[in-house]
Amino acid sequence: MLFALLTGTLALSPIVQADTTLNAVRGQRLDVNAYAGEVTVHAWNRNAVRIVASGADQDQLEISSSATAISIRTHGRHGPPDEITLQISAPAWIAISMGGVNTNAKIEGIRAPISVETVEGEVDVTGGESLISLRSVQGSVRLRGAKGRINVNSVNEDVEVANSSGDIAAQTVNGEILLQGVNASSVDANTVNGDISYSGPIRSGGRYALSTHNGDLTLTVPEGTSAGVTVSTFSGDFESEFPVPLRGTRKGKGFNFTLGSGSAQVTLESFQGTIQLVRPGSEEDPARRKREHDRDHDED
Amino acid sequence: MTQDPWTNRLSEYLDGELPEWERHALESHLESCAECSLVVSDLRRVVRRARTLKNPPPVTDLWPGIAARIGAGIPKAQDVVDLDAQRRVRRQWAFSLPQLAAAGIALMTVSGGAVWFMSGAARQSVVSAPVPSSPPESTPAVSVAMKPNASQSYAAAVADLERVLADGRGKLDTTTVRIIEQNLAAIDRAIAEAQRALDADSANLYLNTHLAETMRRKLDLLRQAAALVPVS
Amino acid sequence: MTELGLGVATLEHEPTGRTDPDAVDATLAASGDASAFERLYRTHVPKVYGLVRRMLSDDDVDEVAQDIFVRAWQKLGTFRGEAAFGTWLHRLAVNVILARRETLGTRRKRYVEGDMVLETVPSRRATPEMSMDFEAAMERLPDGAREVFVLHDVEGYRHEEIAQMLGLATGTSKSQLHRARMALRQHLER
């Protein structure tokens, strides 16, 4: 393998394979623009960015470094670039901005802001701090272990956030939204054709808004939760595994009730699906069902 | 109260504005100072409370005055949404809850028709159901659903964006185009369903809000799709 | 009738990236579409009204809130879409509020030194709405401390911005914020 420690602008001629390492200085961000292919970023403990690229030789890969950014871009000579595979090692402190069209993005171990936009690819991120924005049109978006202001968005596939904390906005049109093990004080989850499930503490003073048109809502409610709950549906059902202090129900209308002192604000809306409250660990708890599913499908 | 020398730095600590060395020193202090730890905890709660303060709209609708000052003209009687009537409808529904409670039974229907009956002891811990809250902050729904001019503007905006997409579809991947069209169709179906429901119950606050939000989802998706079209 | 030509041109060359749900209405309103502006008003009036109510302790909250939207209509031509419309409107609202406070004549010293003691908030009837006591306590803060607290903790501005808006040193903004928070901590629910 060939290493080159470089600073400044480096433009490579058409390549089959390249392995390049650049110094990284705090204050720089990492910009990756790969039209198509697989981009993987792993954190390592060096103040440097290493790029290992492999792909068709028509691709042109441009790598440059300025005071504010290390940039990696693909160019096609005639029309869009062909697919490329980029394996990038980067310092955990580096903020990442990634864009692509037919690009799958996978990022692990970064403790800095992350922004990813792709059209046809999937986004899979473990980590991220402060500001995390992940968007795909056709692919799913998965985020784990993040902390900060989180915005995850797909159009046609599922959106999943797990074991993360902060303020969460999750949106899709034709997919499910799964929020598990999240510790959030503000949640806004919205889909048209899919289910939504939320499991995590419902914090005092927090705001939680879950809304779907055609899907079911499942909210896992820990014991001792203090929340004012507003339920709205047109032709859906409401179910709860535990008694709630309802004063009356009217199917197809909305109603409110209060758990504890009503400190948090919870809004549950499903136009024609079932809105369901479950306890942690119950059979209907999505987190428990996922653990069992993963365990049953664990072939190791 | 003893004034700990660190007390005046606690807000800056909370906001992440202390230099690193000072932050470390303060955190060491917090490990052994229960009072400062309590203050930090309280300040954190103050900040959280500040962030969750509610913003009810003004009691009086200010729009007529604004419209007059910007020369938008006096709205015609049939175009004006009677917000007082909206509030009266909501209050009527809210009043029905105590009436049900007076019957002495709290009911909740579970799927399959089973019903929970709360025991007397449990009923005593019930808090009065709050009156339905004021319209959510982002509610242009009333005007969208009931003012013909607003509907025309929305339709015009949608038509503009659809034209951009139609003109640019040849520049997009066919799968992307298909996915976008499928999802627009899904949103259109949701809009139609919400509109039909609203036609039968025009004062329903949830349906108004839901329709507006779904229409906004369509605009958002159209804009997102239009932004994908390469600018030639 | 709306001049859609301008709106279409703007939309076609919209840069990629974040979508502002108000951008279409802002574009239409800038072309003279009052219905679009009304939609913007209905979307944003709760937050604007809350800001006015908390920043000004006088009785003309309705009038100032109206002034803000009238000013926004007049200034729509300067909205470039670089920030979200709500952000732009909010900043305009702060400017209108600050201008008003200057025109109300001499005010007592705004930035109180020393310990700050709030009047005892009268006990209220039991209500599940805990933030009413907290809001009442905010109203009783001295003007300067309340303004800094509202701008920083409620509205999210940074000290550097607040200092510039209010004509303060950054250090004064920080100390006023701390004093406000310390005074308000007694009015949290337990």
Domains located in chain C, CATH noted: 21-104 (1.10.1740.10), 116-187 (1.10.10.10)
Chains that touch A (3 or more CB pairs under 8 A): B, C
Give the count of beta carbons closer than 10 Å to the beta carbon of residue A53. Answer: 24
Which chain B residues are within 8 Å of A165, Cβ to Cβ? none
Q: Does the residue A142 lie in any domain?
A: no
- Looking at the structure of chain A, the number of domains it has is 2
Question: Three-class SS of residue B210?
Answer: helix
Name the strand (E) or helix (H) holding A287. helix A286-296
Residue A193 lies in a domain: yes
**Domain for residue A4, yes or no?**
yes
Among A111, A133, A165, the domain boundary falls at A111
Query: How would DSSP label each residue in A43-70?
Result: EESSSEEEEEEEE-TTEEEEEEE-SSEE
Whose CA is closest to A52, among A41, A60, A65, A67? A41
Question: Which of A185, A190, A262 lies closest to B127 in CB terms?
Answer: A262
Q: Looking at beta carbons, which residues of chain B come within 8 Å of A238?
A: 108-109
Looking only at the bridges linking them, the beta strands covering A129-136 and A114-118 are parallel
Residue A233 lies in a domain: yes
Q: Would you say A23 and A7 are in contact if contact means Cβ atoms under 8 Å apart?
A: yes
Judged by CB atoms closer than 8 Å, whether chains meet at B194 and A237 is answered as: no
Question: In this structure, are A191 and A94 located in the same domain?
Answer: no
User: In this prediction, what percent of chain C has a pLDDT beyond 90?
Assistant: 34
Q: Is residue A158 part of a domain?
A: no
Tell me which chains share at least 3 CB pairs under 8 Å with chain C.
Answer: A, B
Which positions ≥6 away from C54 have C-beta within 8 Å? C135, C138, C139, C146, C150, C154
- Dihedral class, residue A130 (left if φ above 0, else alpha if ψ from -120 to 50, else beta): left
The SS3 call for residue A16 is coil
Instruction: Note whether residue A117 is domain-resident.
Output: no
Cβ separation B101–A247 shorter than 8 A = yes
Any chain B CB within 8 A of the CB of A282? no
When scoring A149, A154, A213 by the number of chain B Cβ atoms within 10 A, the one with the most, hence best to mutate, is A213
Query: N- to C-terminal Cα distance for chain C?
Result: 56
Name the phi and psi angles at A278, rounded to 5.
Answer: -130, 165
User: Chain B contact for C47, CB < 8 A?
Assistant: yes
Give the pLDDT of residue A158.
94
Contact B52 A207 (CB under 8 A): yes
Q: Which amino acid is at B84?
A: D
Domain residues for the domain of A286 are 178-300
Is residue A23, in this structure, part of any structural domain at all? yes
Locus of tokens 């001629």:
A13
Residue partners of C186: CB distance under 8 A and separation at least 6: C118, C137
Residues whose CB is less than 8 angstroms from the CB of residue B3 and which lie 6 or more positions away in sequence, other chains included = none
Task: With CB atoms and an 8 Å threshold, state whether B223 touches C24.
Answer: yes
Contact B109 A253 (CB under 8 A): no
Indicate if the pLDDT at residue A116 is higher than 90. yes
Q: Considering the domain boundaries, does residue A131 fall inside one? A: no
- The answer to whether residues C79 and C88 touch, using CB atoms and an 8 Å cutoff, is yes
Asked whether the predicted pLDDT for residue A9 surpasses 90, the reply is no
Neighbouring CB atoms inside 10 A of B96's CB total 13
Q: C-alpha angle A119/A120/A125, rounded to 5°?
A: 80
Last residue of a domain, one of A111, A130, A147: A111
Encode chain C in three state secondary structure: CCCHHHHHHHHHCCCCCCCCCCHHHHHHHHCCCHHHHHHHHHHHHHHHHHHHHHHCCCCCHHHHHHHHHHHHHHHHHHCCCCCCHHHHHHHHHHHHHHHHHHHCCCCCCCCCCCCCCCCCCCCCCCCCCCHHHHHHHHHCCCHHHHHHHHHHHHCCCCHHHHHHHHCCCHHHHHHHHHHHHHHHHHHCCC
Could B53 and C131 be called an inter-chain contact, meaning their C-beta atoms sit closer than 8 Å?
yes
Closest CA to A120 of C52, B176, B133: B176
Looking at the structure, tell me whether residues A200 and A295 fall in a common domain.
yes
**Residue C167: both structure tokens together:** 């004509």
Within chain B, residue ranges assigned H as helices are 10-14, 20-32, 34-51, 63-69, 83-102, 120-124, 141-146, 148-168, 174-200, 205-228
Residue B122: CB atoms within 10 A of its CB come to 13
> What is the chain B residue with the closest CA to A194?
B186
Q: Does the distance separating the beta carbons of C153 and B143 come in below 8 Å?
A: no
Q: For residue B110, what are its two tokens?
A: 């579970």
* pTM beyond 0.95: no
**Inter-chain residue contact C14 with B226, CB threshold 8 Å:** yes
Candidate from C34, C46, C74 with C-beta closest to B67: C34
Among candidate residues A111, A137, A160, the one where a domain is terminated? A111
Query: pLDDT tens string for chain C (190 positions)?
Result: 333 222 222 232 334 345 677 888 888 888 888 888 999 999 999 999 999 999 986 667 888 999 999 989 988 888 877 788 999 999 999 999 888 876 654 343 444 444 444 433 333 333 334 445 788 889 888 888 999 999 999 999 999 999 988 888 999 999 999 999 999 988 776 5
In this structure, what are the phi and psi dihedrals at residue A241, rounded to the nearest 5 degrees? -80, -10
pLDDT per residue as tens, chain B (232 positions): 456 788 889 999 999 999 988 899 999 999 999 989 999 999 999 999 999 888 888 888 899 888 888 876 544 443 444 434 333 333 332 222 222 222 222 222 222 222 222 223 333 333 333 333 333 333 333 333 434 466 777 787 788 888 888 888 888 888 888 889 989 999 999 999 898 888 888 878 888 888 888 998 898 898 888 888 876 5
